[in-house]
Amino acid sequence: MCVLHLKSVLSAGDWRVVVVTGRDDNMATTNTVTLVAYGADDASEPVTLGSGSEGKYFLKGNTDDFKVYALLYPPPPKKKRQ
Alpha helices (H) along 1-82: none
**Residue-level pLDDT at 35:** 85
* Exposure string over 25-52, b if 16+ CB within 10 A, otherwise e: eeeeeeeebebebebeeebbeebebeeb
**Residue-level pLDDT at 18:** 85
**Residue-level pLDDT at 7:** 47
pLDDT in tens, 20-36: 888 888 888 888 988 88
79 occurs within a structural domain: no
pTM over 0.75: no
Give 4's contacts (C-beta < 8 A, 6+ positions apart): 35, 36, 37, 38
56 occurs within a structural domain: yes
Between 58 and 2, where is the model more confident?
Answer: 58
Domain count across the chain = 1
Q: Which residues pair with 33 in a beta bridge?
A: 50
pLDDT in tens, 52-78: 888 888 898 988 988 887 766 665 566
Give the range of the structural domain holding residue 61, as residue numbers without chain letter. Answer: 2-73
Say whether 24 sits in a helix, a strand or coil. coil
78 occurs within a structural domain: no
